[in-house]
Amino acid sequence: MGKINLGILPKLLLGILIGILVGSLGNLFNVSDAPAFRLVIEISATFTSLFSTFLQFLIPLLIVSFVAVGLADLGQKANKLFLVTLLLAYCSTVLAGLLAYFFGYAVLPQWISPISSMNTSGTAFSPLFTISVDPVFGVMTALILAFVLGIGLANIKGERLLGCLKDLQQIITLTLKKIIIPLIPVYIATQFAGIAASGELFSTIKMFVMLFVMILAFQWVYLLVQFGIASLLTRENQFRKIKNMIPAYFTALGTQSSAATIPVNLECAYRNKITKDVADFCIPLCATIHLAGDTVCLVLGTMGIMLASGMSPDFGLYLPFILMLGVTMVAAPGVPGGGVMAAIGIIGSMLGFTESMQSLIISLHFSQDSFGTATNIMGDQTIAIVVDAVDQKHSEKQAEA
């Protein structure tokens, strides 16, 4: 018999169910009358504390390694088509965030009410012990350092420091794949155990499901917006090309990785008559710099959680957050959930999310990561279509000259 390997989504759902069961039992019986059960809850709280501490330690290192390497690699490819692609990808990501914000601002307050347990930090139970591990530096320090190193390496074309950063990037990727991602379902289970024990389970699940549906629906809407913009810019109906992209969409649903979907997405681009040279350049590049689907999830998801926590998602707070998201998620790890792992630092520092709030956005992002990835790769096609049109016009002008 072969070993059954569940995907991250089934494991996440199983973790939520186990957490709900454990927390509900704690709410049903008086914990003080059951020492063995109290020990289980305290062990759960201890794991939550240790995992959160390690995650907070890891995030600045992730930002420095991935963003710096991403900027350095991008800077070393400086040419006209690259700059056009980079600008389109960034504008698309920011537009996705802005439209998601205005949609959320208009709709979410009518559906989501404050939940009393949401603004607490961590679980309702004390851990057996805690370990204090300060990050090497703060999140904003990591971002500034990543910008300086990435842009600097792109200009001096340095290889030794870049090689060190790439080694660090590989170490962080391995840590994510072997430690963080496998333990995420356990981490989420401990958080939902605390929510269930606090008596706010129904309200939290209702919010979670509502946000999931809204995010999924808006991702599809934004895909139509992207194809509409591509049609306007190229003066040609691009909606008819959607049917050729279905294989890439479903591949992304299965792999949860834009990078793993590149070969299929390239075939779809060829089928859509995008020039081979443009497709070969644009599709792999956009797989690392264009994360509109993740942005929609992170903006709507954080807004919903803020409203449930009694906080106000003001535009003045979200505009710099959205602008920063477009940069922070550059070259996000090619693993499921890489987008939220790269962004969780600024979610905490810029939006003021507590540990329990961060665990919910991580859970929400993982639950829809397949659809967010599929949105990303479909959007990559629209960018390639526009870049191809720009390249053809440029070639025509050169021929006339």
pLDDT in tens for each of the 401 residues of the chain?
445 556 666 787 788 888 888 777 766 655 555 566 667 777 877 888 888 888 888 888 888 888 788 778 766 655 677 788 888 999 999 999 999 999 999 999 988 888 765 554 444 567 787 788 888 888 778 878 988 898 888 888 778 998 999 999 889 888 888 888 888 888 888 878 777 766 667 778 888 889 999 999 999 999 999 999 999 998 989 899 898 898 989 888 877 777 778 888 999 999 988 988 888 888 888 887 888 999 999 999 999 999 988 899 999 999 999 999 888 876 565 566 677 888 888 898 899 998 888 888 988 888 888 898 899 999 999 999 999 898 888 777 766 66
CB 364 within 8 Å of CB 184: no
CB 347 within 8 Å of CB 358: yes
Where do the domains of the chain lie, and which CATH numbers do they carry?
8-123+137-400 (1.10.3860)
Q: What angle do CA 130, 36, 121 make, to 5 degrees?
A: 35
Q: What angle do CA 135, 141, 144 make, to 5 degrees?
A: 145
DSSP alpha helices (H): ranges in 76-198? 80-111, 139-156, 160-175, 181-198
- R_g over Cα of the chain: 22
Res 50: pLDDT: 87
Q: Which residues are within 8 A (CB) of 227 and not within 5 positions of it... i.e. 6 or more apart?
A: 238, 239, 241, 242, 382
- With tokens 């600024």, the residue in question is 346
Buried b (16+ CB within 10 A) or exposed e, 54-92: bbbebbbbbbbbbbbbbbbbbbeeeeebbebbbebbbeb
Res 46: pLDDT: 85
- With tokens 């890489």, the residue in question is 338
- With tokens 């720009």, the residue in question is 390
DSSP alpha helices (H): ranges in 157-291? 160-175, 181-198, 201-234, 246-255, 262-271, 276-289
Res 31: pLDDT: 52
Res 1: pLDDT: 44
Res 225: pLDDT: 95
> What is the CB neighbour count within 10 angstroms for residue 43?
14
Angle between helices 355-400 and 35-75 (to 10 degrees): 20
